[in-house]
Amino acid sequence: MGNVGGALARRKLTRAILSTLTIAGKKYYWQHSKTKKWINMTSNDTEIELSLRGISWESTLARLCTDLQFESSPSQE
């Protein structure tokens, strides 16, 4: 029963992440579990969580932190 509960929880979390990204207007990419190819987000993402292996998106905050870290790197001085 634990595997069923885990699978349902993973689907629910994935759906919540995709919904949040879509509402926020963030572009995302998802990796197909069989082909291992990264696919651009589409307007119809119905049940992609069934064949999804990974999700990728860019956060403005992460980019800002990366830029700040890069600029303050000792090797750049």
Which has the closest alpha carbon to 24: 59, 55, 48?
59
Please give the pLDDT value at position 73.
37
Question: In which domain, by residue range, is 43 found?
Answer: 2-76
Q: Which amino acid is at 64?
A: L
Residue 72, H or E segment:
none
Please give the pLDDT value at position 37.
93
Percent of the chain with pLDDT over 90: 9
Q: Are β-strands 28-32 and 52-57 bridged in parallel, bridged antiparallel, or unpaired?
A: antiparallel
Q: What is the band of 66 on the pLDDT scale with cuts at 50, 70, 90?
A: very low
Rg (CA), the chain: 17
Please tell me the total count of domains within the chain.
1
pTM for this entry: 0.68
